């Protein structure tokens, strides 16, 4: 068998999985293993029975003190984690939850179905916030210059909205899914380093605050939905957040199978990866992950292959083979992104060139066109719906 090499010779990779040193906040141990590999080893040695007891205590306490109010807020995208969280909270622990969604406005058809199906299956009260389309498009443009990817709206909108709802409804407990040790590498299972406060998500995803996004075209009024309530307001309600993944063993593959087989959660084709469950709710991950690749030389396939290598589902060579195929692909969603932002292709690549890390400055990135059309239509489902109905006849008219 041909040995598959990492894409770039100039950078160091984890000795166990396929993650490069260009990953944000990665730290290799003395054996050359990355933060996520270290976390996955910690995960095996954790006493999950004890952790579950801690969770039960937190949830029981929330129920005991909520009175006639909701027991907790469940931030929902409709992804497989949302579905699993909803199952755990309502079915296993009997919590009365308020579902809260910040609509990033790029829902795929599958994603929109999954969200509606979740609300239906678990019978959940739901609040959704939808920023106007013009603002979403402006922010998509601004985001590239400001943070080097397409998705500032989604990094900043959901946490702000969840805090706003916690304060408005006076619900202290917020329950997220996957542990930060798994999804960001910025925290660890052993000693949770990051304190939960109003800046938690800002530190976690390391992105810019709303007031750093202002310009002559994006005003303070426009950005109200992204303003996090004051520390005093948050303290008054006693808001605090947890990740279920710190209390129950988190296994993406098994959770996906579980919600798919029991509750009709649907996978779909997602650009730039071989897995069909991560970010299934959105039509833009292709662009998000492509910008990561242009900056740091790795994308979604590197993440996914590394998870599979850690879990023994792939060899490291097989991982690099998948990475070579998917991480270098130009996503179909780039066309939509250029349309809504008004950037030309040259401008897009010019901006991304400036964001490229020094370590890969002189590398040939080997980007290539996709060889097939994505199975899921790469256009927000709501835009598809509007087009369809704007062009349809009055149903009372025959033919
Ligand atoms: Zn690793």
- If DSSP codes are grouped into helix, strand and coil, which group holds residue 75? strand
The confidence score (pLDDT) of residue 255 equals: 96
Protein residues placing their CB within 5 Å of the ion ligand 1: 14, 16-17, 19, 34, 37
The confidence score (pLDDT) of residue 184 equals: 63
Tell me the CA–centroid distance for residue 29 and ligand 1, in Å.
10
pLDDT at 1 over 60: no
Q: What is the mean pLDDT of residues 379-392?
A: 95
Mention every residue, 6+ apart, whose C-beta is less than 8 A from residue 318. 4, 305, 309
Tell me the CA–centroid distance for residue 237 and ligand 1, in Å.
40
Tell me the CA–centroid distance for residue 86 and ligand 1, in Å.
30
Q: Pairing state of beta strands 125-129 and 329-330? A: unpaired
Tell me the CA–centroid distance for residue 170 and ligand 1, in Å.
41
- The answer to whether 37 and 310 have CB atoms below 8 angstroms apart is yes
Rounded Cα–Cα distance for residues 204 and 380 (Å)? 27
Tell me the CA–centroid distance for residue 217 and ligand 1, in Å.
42
What single-letter DSSP state applies at residue 397?
S
pLDDT band, very low/low/confident/very high, at 2 (cuts 50, 70, 90): low
The confidence score (pLDDT) of residue 183 equals: 67
Of 190-194, 368-372, 388-392, minimum mean pLDDT range = 190-194
The beta-strand segments (E) located in 38-182 are 72-75, 97-102, 125-129, 173-176
- If DSSP codes are grouped into helix, strand and coil, which group holds residue 168? helix
Question: If you search the block for the tokens 């603002």, which residue do you land on?
Answer: 135
Structure tokens given for 244: 């279920």
Tell me the CA–centroid distance for residue 286 and ligand 1, in Å.
23
What single-letter DSSP state applies at residue 76?
-
Provide the CB-side half-sphere exposure for 233 (13 A, CA). Answer: 13
The confidence score (pLDDT) of residue 192 equals: 66
Rounded mean pLDDT of the chain? 93
- Select the more confidently predicted residue: 197 or 69: 69
pLDDT at 173 over 80: yes
The rounded percent of the chain whose pLDDT value lies above 90 is 85
Q: What is the mean pLDDT of residues 134-141?
A: 98
For 166, phi and psi rounded to 5 degrees?
-60, -45
Tell me the CA–centroid distance for residue 184 and ligand 1, in Å.
13
Tell me the CA–centroid distance for residue 323 and ligand 1, in Å.
14
- The answer to whether 271 and 286 have CB atoms below 8 angstroms apart is yes
Instruction: Please give the domain boundaries of the chain with CATH numbers for all domains.
Output: 48-246 (3.40.50.620), 274-385 (no CATH)
Tell me the CA–centroid distance for residue 253 and ligand 1, in Å.
18
Tell me the CA–centroid distance for residue 191 and ligand 1, in Å.
19
Tell me the CA–centroid distance for residue 267 and ligand 1, in Å.
26
- Select the more confidently predicted residue: 207 or 232: 232
Phi/psi zone of residue 359: left (φ > 0), alpha (ψ -120 to 50 degrees), beta? alpha
Tell me the CA–centroid distance for residue 210 and ligand 1, in Å.
33
Tell me the CA–centroid distance for residue 38 and ligand 1, in Å.
7
Q: What is the mean pLDDT of residues 335-350?
A: 98
pLDDT band, very low/low/confident/very high, at 395 (cuts 50, 70, 90): confident
pLDDT at 201 over 60: yes
DSSP string, 246-305: GTS---HHHHHHHHHHHH-------TTSS-SSTTTTBS-HHHHHHHHHHHHS--HHHHHH
Mention every residue, 6+ apart, whose C-beta is less than 8 A from residue 43. 181, 189, 249
Rounded Cα–Cα distance for residues 320 and 17 (Å)? 9
Tell me the CA–centroid distance for residue 265 and ligand 1, in Å.
30
What is the pTM for the complete model shown? Answer: 0.95
**15 alpha-carbon distance from chain centroid:** 26
The confidence score (pLDDT) of residue 266 equals: 98
Phi/psi zone of residue 185: left (φ > 0), alpha (ψ -120 to 50 degrees), beta? left
- The answer to whether 97 and 71 have CB atoms below 8 angstroms apart is yes
- Select the more confidently predicted residue: 10 or 67: 67
Among 25, 27, 35, residue whose Cα is nearest residue 310? 35
Q: What is the mean pLDDT of residues 181-188?
A: 69
pLDDT band, very low/low/confident/very high, at 53 (cuts 50, 70, 90): very high
Angle value at C-alpha 35, between 256 and 314, nearest 5 degrees: 50
Tell me the CA–centroid distance for residue 310 and ligand 1, in Å.
7
- Select the more confidently predicted residue: 371 or 168: 168
Torsion over CA: 109, 111, 117, 120 (sign): negative
Tell me the CA–centroid distance for residue 317 and ligand 1, in Å.
14
Q: Which of 6-10, 40-44, 52-56 has the highest mean pLDDT?
A: 52-56
Tell me the CA–centroid distance for residue 36 and ligand 1, in Å.
6
- If DSSP codes are grouped into helix, strand and coil, which group holds residue 111? helix
Report long-range pairs for 260-263 (Cβ below 8 Å, ≥24 apart).
Answer: 260/80, 263/83, 263/87, 263/117, 263/118, 263/121
The confidence score (pLDDT) of residue 149 equals: 95
Question: If you search the block for the tokens 């969770």, which residue do you land on?
Answer: 55
Q: What is the mean pLDDT of residues 358-379?
A: 94
């Amino acid at each position: 068998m041909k040995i598959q090499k990492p894409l770039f010779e100039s950078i160091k990779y984890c000795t166990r999985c396929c993650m490069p040193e260009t990953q944000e906040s990665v730290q290799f141990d003395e054996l050359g293993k990355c933060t996520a590999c270290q976390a996955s080893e910690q995960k095996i040695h954790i006493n999950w029975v004890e952790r579950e007891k801690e969770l039960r205590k937190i949830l029981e306490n929330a129920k005991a003190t909520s009175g006639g109010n909701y027991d907790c807020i469940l931030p929902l995208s409709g992804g497989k984690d949302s579905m699993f969280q909803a199952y755990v909270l309502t079915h296993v622990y009997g919590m009365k939850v308020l579902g809260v969604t910040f609509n990033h406005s790029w829902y795929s058809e599958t994603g929109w179905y999954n969200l509606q199906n979740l609300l239906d299956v678990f019978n959940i009260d739901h609040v959704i916030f939808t920023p106007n389309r013009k603002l979403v498009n402006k922010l998509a443009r601004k985001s590239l210059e400001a943070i080097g990817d397409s998705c500032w709206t989604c990094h900043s909108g959901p946490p702000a909205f969840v805090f706003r709802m916690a304060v408005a409804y006076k619900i202290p407990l917020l329950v997220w899914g996957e542990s930060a040790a798994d999804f960001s590498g910025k925290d660890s299972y052993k000693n949770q380093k990051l304190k939960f406060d109003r800046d938690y998500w800002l530190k976690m995803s390391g992105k810019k605050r709303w007031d750093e996004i202002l310009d002559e075209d994006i005003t303070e009024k426009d950005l109200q939905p992204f303003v996090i309530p004051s520390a005093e307001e948050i303290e008054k309600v006693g808001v605090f957040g947890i990740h279920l993944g710190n209390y129950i063993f988190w296994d993406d593959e098994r959770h996906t199978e579980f919600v798919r087989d029991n509750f009709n959660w649907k996978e779909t084709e997602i650009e730039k990866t071989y897995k069909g469950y991560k970010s299934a709710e959105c039509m833009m991950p292709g662009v998000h992950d492509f910008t990561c690749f242009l900056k740091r030389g790795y994308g979604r396939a590197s993440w996914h292959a590394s998870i599979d290598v850690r879990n023994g589902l792939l060899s490291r060579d097989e991982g690099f083979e998948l990475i070579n195929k998917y991480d270098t692909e130009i996503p179909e969603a780039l066309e939509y992104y250029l349309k809504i932002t008004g950037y030309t292709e040259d401008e897009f690549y010019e901006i991304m060139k400036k964001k490229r890390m020094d370590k890969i400055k002189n590398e040939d990135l080997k980007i290539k066109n996709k060889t097939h059309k994505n199975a899921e239509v790469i256009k927000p489902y709501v835009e598809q719906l509007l087009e369809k109905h704007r062009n349809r006849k009055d149903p009372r008219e025959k033919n």
